[in-house]
Chain A
Amino acid sequence: MIWRYILKRVFWMVPFLFAVSIVAFLLIQAPPGDFLTTYMAKLGESNEVLDQATIDNLRQRFGLDQPIYVQYFKWISRLIVGDFGMSFEWRQPVSDLVWERMGLTLCLSFATLLFTWAVAFPIGVYSAVRKYSIGDYIATTIGFIGIATPNFLLALILMYIGVVYFGSDVGGLFSPEFKNAAWSWAKVWDLMKHLWLPVVVLGTSATASLIRIMRANLLDELNKPYVDTARAKGLSEFWLIMKYPVRVALNPFISTIGWVLPNLVSGAVVTAIVLSLPTAGPLMLQALLSQDMFLAGAFVLLLSSLTVVGMLISDILLVLLDPRVKYD
C-alpha cells in the first residue's frame, strides 16, 4: 500500500516538474533582452564595441534568434538526456559548474536541518512541559530574538566574534589550502570546521520558529485524555510524555523538511554572499543578473526538484509516523 503511494507520488512529480520547467524558462526570459544585450552593455562600459556581424553570429550560435518555444524545446530535450547546456558567461558546461555547488548546498542544508532539529526538539519539549518556568521564558526570549534577527546581521556578528576573539578562519567552507584540493579526509575535516558558522547562522531563525511550533503543539496535546490514560497505567512521567504527546506533536517537525530546503537555498543568498559560501545561491544570483539562461535555468530547476523531493520525503515520513494520515 505504502509502495503504491510512493510510486503514485513519484509518477505525479513528472508532470509537475515539467510545468516547473516551463515556468522557470519563462521567468528567465521575462526580463527584457538576453545574455548578449547584457554582455554588450558590459563590454560597452569598458569601451569595447562588437560589430553587428559578430553579435548576429553569436546570437545564432547560442540559438537566441529563435522563437522562445523553440529555445525551450531545445533546452528541455537536451535536459532529458542530462545535458544542461553551456554557460554563456563561464564558457563551460553548466553541469560542471552546478554539481559541486549543489552538493555543498545540499550538505549545508542537511547539516542545518539536523542542527535545527537537535536544538529545537529538546528546547521545545522542555518549554511546553515546564510552561511558564524560568527556562521557558529564557527559551521564548531567545526564540523571539532568533526570529527577529536578520541572518546576514547574525553572520556579521558571529564572524566578528570568530575573528576577533577566537582568531579562527571564517568565511567560505574551506581553508585556502583545501579550496582546490581533491576530496580527502583532511578536506572533509576542514569542511566540518567551517560548517558550524553558516549552520548556526542559517539555522537560528528556523530553530526559533520550530521551538515555538513544538511548544504550542505539545501544549495542546499535554492535556489530552490519552496522556492521563498513560499516566494511570503507571508509566513514568518522562516516558509517557515522550511516547504519547510528543509523538503526536511531532508532525510539524517532519513537515519542515519540505520547506527548509528551498528556504535555505533561496533565502540564504545574502548570507552566502556575506560568508562567501561556495553554495548555489550566489552563483544563481550572478547567473540571473547576467541573463546566463542555461545556468540560471539549471539552478531554478534543480532547486524546484529539491523542493518537490523534500515535500515527498516529508509526506512519506508523515504517513509512516501517523496512521491517521491516509494515503489513498
Chain B
Amino acid sequence: MLQTPTATDPAILSVKDLHVGFDMRQGMLNVLHGVGFELHRNRTTAIVGESGSGKSVSARAILNMVPRPGIISGGQILFRPKADEETILTSLDPRGKEIRKIRGGRIGMIFQEPMSSLSPVHTIGNQIVEAIRLHRKVANKEARVIAREILEQVEIPRAERALDQYAFEFSGGMRQRAMIAMALSCHPDVLIADEPTTALDVTTQAEILDLMGRLQRELRMAIMFITHDMGVVAEIADDVVVMEKGHVVERGETHALFSRQSHPYTEKLLGAVKRLDQPADAKVGPEPDAPDILSVVDLKLHFHKRAGFLQRITETTKAVDGVCFNLRMGEALGIVGESGSGKTTVGRCVARVYEPTDGSISYRGADLVAAEKEELKRYRKQIRMIFQDPFASLNPRMTVKQIIAEPMIAYGDAKTQDLEERVASLLSEVGLDPGMMERYPHAFSGGQRQRIVVARAIALEPKLVIADEPTSALDVSIRTQVLDLLLRLQAEMGLSFIFISHDMAVIRYFCDRVAVMYQGKIVEIGETEQIITDPQHPYTKALLSSVPISDPSQRGTRQRHRYVENA
C-alpha cells in the first residue's frame, strides 16, 4: 500500500503451471489445471473464487501439504526470499526437514475456522511457544516472553493471562488474532491467509483486516489472501487472481481489474456483489393495509449461571432484553447484529424453541408464550425455520424424500400415497429435479442443500418463516439465487419472513424493514433503505461503516468507527 513495487521487483514466491490431482479409485481427478501467479513483498494478492475453485488447494500446495490422496502432478513453486536464495518447494519431500523449516518459519498460514484451527486441549501459549521453538533456538522461558509480546502485538488484552487460556475461552475474533500471532511468531516472509475473516462478524472482520495490514507493513510480508468476498478484495488487495474450477481465469492489479473485467466469471462474481448493493427488483412488500401477523412485546430471555452448593444465580446473561417489534402479513423483517447480539435467540423464542423469560409473543391474536402442546403444535405448523448451515441441518442418513416428507408425516398432513407426489412438487418448486429425491444430502452442493431445507420449511404451507442466516454459508452467486427463490415463494404463498443475518447487503436485498440488535436490545428499527442511507443510532453507523465496499477506488475514503457502549 505504501510502496509501489512494479513488475521488475522479483516475486518472492511464484507458482508456475501448477497441477494438482487427487488419486482416486476411479483414476486421477485433477483439481488444479496449470495455475500460475506471483506474490511480492509488501503486496497483498487476493485469490478469489467460489468453493471448489481450487483456492485452498493452491495454498496448501505452496507448503507442500496437499491433503491425501492429492498429489502435485506438475508445475513448480519457486520461493525466493532473497536475491541469492532460491528453493523449489515442489521438489522437496513433503515430510522432509527442509519443507518443515519453511512451513511456519518462512511461510506462515492462517485458516478460516478460528475455532477448529486451534487445538481444543492445549493452551494458546503452548501452541505459540511450540511454533517459536520449532524455528528459533530459544529456551522455553524466552519463547514464552516472545509469545506474550506477539499476543500484545495482535492486540489481545491481558496477554500474560491469555497464554494460559484455551481457544474455547476466546471469542471468534480473539481466536483469529491468536492464530495470526502464531503464524507470525517466526516473522515469516510470506503469510497465506485462507478465508481468515469469513467466519467473523463484519465489525470484527474490519478489525482483523486493519491488523493484518499493519503487521504487513511492519514485517514487510507478502500476503496471499484467499477469499470469496469481492468487498474484502476491494478493501485490501493490491493484486487479484480470479480462479474458477482449477483455472486462473484472470489476474491483474486490483483497480484495473475492478474497472474493466474481461472474463465473464469475474464479471459474474462482481455482478453478484453489486446486485446485493441494492434492494431486489422482485421485492413484493406487504399490502398497504396488511394486518399484523406477529407482534412481540418486551420479549426477554435471560440465561442464569448457577454455582455453589445452593445453586445460587451468580451471573445472568441477558440474551434478549426487552425486544419489541411487529411483523405484518407478507412482510420481510430483517434482524441484523453481530454474534452475541441475541438475534438468533429472538428467532428461536418466536419458534418457541427457547422459553422466553418474560414478554409476550402474539401470533395472529393468539398468545404463543402461553400455548401448550396441541395448540403449540398447530402454531409450529404455521411457523417454520430455515437454518444457517445446510450441511449440518440435514440428516446425512436420510434421503431427500424422507427429509422433506418428515414434517408432513409428523403432522399427519399427507397420505403415504401422495407423499411422493407432494415431495416431487415441492422439489420442483424450489428448482430441484424431483428425480433426485432418493439421494442423500451429501450428493448435493451447498446451494442445492439450502433449497432442500427451504422445501422442507414450506412443506406444511406455513404463514411465517424464520430464516436464520440462510445464505451465509453459501457462495455469493448462489446467495442471490436462494434469496430470489425465497422472494418468489414469498410472492406466491404470501409468506411473512423474519430474516436473521449479520450481512447488511443481504438484508438490503431481501427485507422491507430491518431491526438492528445490539446486546439483546433493538437499537433501531425502520424501513431498510432509510436505515442504510440514514442510520441514527451510533451502533448502526459503526456496523455500516465496517461493511467492505466493493469498489477499490473508494478505499480509505470512509472513516471506520467502533461502537463501544458505555453503560
Tell whether A pairs with B: yes
* Chain A residues within CB distance 8 Å of chain B: 223-226, 228-237, 243-244, 247-248, 321-324, 328
Q: Is B134 an interface residue (CB 8 A)?
A: yes
Which A residues are in CB contact (< 8 Å) with B109?
A: 229, 232
- CB B497 to nearest CB in A, in angstroms, measures 34
Which of A224, A234, A247, A322 makes the CB contact (< 8 A) with B135?
A: A234
A233 touches B117 (CB 8 A): no
Q: Which residue of B lies closest to A131 (CB)?
A: B68
Which of B101, B111, B182, B183 makes the CB contact (< 8 A) with A228?
A: B111
A225 touches B111 (CB 8 A): yes
Q: Which residue of A lies closest to B63 (CB)?
A: A232
Which B residues are in CB contact (< 8 Å) with A236?
A: 95, 100
B118 touches A233 (CB 8 A): no
Which of A231, A232, A244 makes the CB contact (< 8 A) with B119?
A: A244
How long is the Cα–Cα vector from A98 to B408 in the complex, in angstroms? 62
| Contact string against A for B residues 305-329, beta-carbon threshold 8 Å, 1 for contact and 0 otherwise | 0010000000000000000000000
- CB B5 to nearest CB in A, in angstroms, measures 26
| Contact string against A for B residues 277-319, beta-carbon threshold 8 Å, 1 for contact and 0 otherwise | 0000000000000000000000000000001000000000000
A248 touches B100 (CB 8 A): no
Which of A233, A323, A324 makes the CB contact (< 8 A) with B130?
A: A233
How long is the Cα–Cα vector from A274 to B118 in the complex, in angstroms? 51
B108 touches A237 (CB 8 A): no
A234 touches B116 (CB 8 A): no
* Chain B residues within CB distance 8 Å of chain A: 60, 63, 65, 67, 95, 100-105, 108-109, 111-113, 116-122, 130-131, 134-135, 166, 168, 179, 182-183, 307
A226 touches B117 (CB 8 A): yes
Q: Which residue of B lies closest to A8 (CB)?
A: B309
- CB A65 to nearest CB in B, in angstroms, measures 45
Q: Contacts A228-B60, A247-B121, A324-B166 given; 20 further ones with Cβ under 8 A?
A: A223-B67, A225-B111, A225-B117, A226-B118, A228-B67, A228-B117, A229-B118, A232-B63, A233-B131, A235-B100, A235-B104, A235-B130, A235-B134, A236-B100, A244-B119, A244-B122, A247-B119, A322-B121, A323-B166, A324-B120
- CB B433 to nearest CB in A, in angstroms, measures 31
A248 touches B121 (CB 8 A): yes
How long is the Cα–Cα vector from A228 to B63 in the complex, in angstroms? 11
Q: Which residue of B lies closest to A224 (CB)?
A: B116
**A232 and B121 in contact, given A226-B116, A324-B168 (Cβ under 8 angstroms):** no
Which of A224, A229, A328 makes the CB contact (< 8 A) with B307?
A: A328
Q: Which of A229, A232, A248, A328 has the most CB of B within 10 A?
A: A232
How long is the Cα–Cα vector from A223 to B405 in the complex, in angstroms? 33
A233 touches B134 (CB 8 A): yes
**A234 and B104 in contact, given A229-B111, A323-B166, A328-B307 (Cβ under 8 angstroms):** yes
Q: Which residue of B lies closest to A231 (CB)?
A: B65
**A225 and B166 in contact, given A232-B63, A233-B134, A234-B135 (Cβ under 8 angstroms):** no
Q: Which residue of A lies closest to B118 (CB)?
A: A226
Q: Which residue of B lies closest to A237 (CB)?
A: B95
B102 touches A234 (CB 8 A): yes
A233 touches B182 (CB 8 A): yes
B102 touches A230 (CB 8 A): no
A225 touches B116 (CB 8 A): yes
B113 touches A225 (CB 8 A): yes
The 6 A-B pairs of least Cβ separation, nearest first, read A234-B104, A233-B104, A234-B103, A232-B109, A234-B100, A225-B117
Which A residues are in CB contact (< 8 Å) with B130?
A: 233, 235
Q: Which residue of A lies closest to B107 (CB)?
A: A232
Which A residues are in CB contact (< 8 Å) with B113?
A: 225
Q: Which residue of A lies closest to B128 (CB)?
A: A233
Which A residues are in CB contact (< 8 Å) with B108?
A: 232
- CB A238 to nearest CB in B, in angstroms, measures 9
How long is the Cα–Cα vector from A232 to B121 in the complex, in angstroms? 18
- CB B142 to nearest CB in A, in angstroms, measures 18
Which A residues are in CB contact (< 8 Å) with B135?
A: 234
How many residue pairs link A and B with beta carbons under 8 A? The number is 77
Q: Which residue of B lies closest to A236 (CB)?
A: B100
Q: Which residue of B lies closest to A245 (CB)?
A: B119
Q: Which residue of B lies closest to A228 (CB)?
A: B111
Q: List 8 A-B contacts (CB under 8 A).
A: A226-B117, A228-B67, A232-B103, A232-B109, A233-B130, A234-B100, A235-B104, A323-B120
Which A residues are in CB contact (< 8 Å) with B118?
A: 226, 229
Q: Which residue of B lies closest to A322 (CB)?
A: B121
B103 touches A228 (CB 8 A): no
Which B residues are in CB contact (< 8 Å) with A226?
A: 116-120
**A234 and B134 in contact, given A228-B65, A229-B111, A323-B166 (Cβ under 8 angstroms):** yes
- CB A317 to nearest CB in B, in angstroms, measures 13
A234 touches B105 (CB 8 A): yes
Which B residues are in CB contact (< 8 Å) with A224?
A: 116
How long is the Cα–Cα vector from A224 to B111 in the complex, in angstroms? 12
B116 touches A232 (CB 8 A): no
How long is the Cα–Cα vector from A225 to B135 in the complex, in angstroms? 21
Q: Which of A224, A233, A237, A323 has the most CB of B within 10 A?
A: A233
- CB A327 to nearest CB in B, in angstroms, measures 12
- CB A133 to nearest CB in B, in angstroms, measures 12
**A233 and B103 in contact, given A225-B116, A324-B168 (Cβ under 8 angstroms):** yes
Which B residues are in CB contact (< 8 Å) with A234?
A: 100-105, 131, 134-135
Q: Which residue of B lies closest to A323 (CB)?
A: B166
Q: Which residue of B lies closest to A328 (CB)?
A: B307
Which A residues are in CB contact (< 8 Å) with B103?
A: 231-234
Q: Which residue of A lies closest to B119 (CB)?
A: A226
- CB A85 to nearest CB in B, in angstroms, measures 37
How long is the Cα–Cα vector from A94 to B302 in the complex, in angstroms? 57
How long is the Cα–Cα vector from A229 to B104 in the complex, in angstroms? 9
How long is the Cα–Cα vector from A252 to B183 in the complex, in angstroms? 32
Which A residues are in CB contact (< 8 Å) with B121?
A: 247-248, 321-324
Which of B101, B120, B168 makes the CB contact (< 8 A) with A248?
A: B120
Q: Which residue of A lies closest to B185 (CB)?
A: A233
Q: Which residue of B lies closest to A226 (CB)?
A: B119
How long is the Cα–Cα vector from A328 to B311 in the complex, in angstroms? 11
How long is the Cα–Cα vector from A229 to B111 in the complex, in angstroms? 8
How long is the Cα–Cα vector from A244 to B166 in the complex, in angstroms? 14
Q: Which of B102, B104, B166 has the most CB of A within 10 A?
A: B104
- CB B111 to nearest CB in A, in angstroms, measures 5
How long is the Cα–Cα vector from A278 to B564 in the complex, in angstroms? 72
Which A residues are in CB contact (< 8 Å) with B166?
A: 323-324
Which of A232, A243, A323 makes the CB contact (< 8 A) with B65?
A: A232
- CB A28 to nearest CB in B, in angstroms, measures 36
Which A residues are in CB contact (< 8 Å) with B119?
A: 226, 229-230, 244, 247-248
Which B residues are in CB contact (< 8 Å) with A237?
A: 95
Which A residues are in CB contact (< 8 Å) with B117?
A: 225-226, 228-229
- CB A282 to nearest CB in B, in angstroms, measures 43
How long is the Cα–Cα vector from A243 to B130 in the complex, in angstroms? 11
How long is the Cα–Cα vector from A223 to B112 in the complex, in angstroms? 15
Which B residues are in CB contact (< 8 Å) with A232?
A: 63, 65, 103-104, 108-109, 183
- CB B13 to nearest CB in A, in angstroms, measures 15
Q: Which residue of A lies closest to B108 (CB)?
A: A232
How long is the Cα–Cα vector from A323 to B121 in the complex, in angstroms? 6
How long is the Cα–Cα vector from A138 to B135 in the complex, in angstroms? 39
Q: Which of A224, A247, A323 has the most CB of B within 10 A?
A: A323
Q: Which residue of A lies closest to B183 (CB)?
A: A232
How long is the Cα–Cα vector from A234 to B183 in the complex, in angstroms? 11
How long is the Cα–Cα vector from A234 to B65 in the complex, in angstroms? 10
Q: Which residue of B lies closest to A244 (CB)?
A: B119
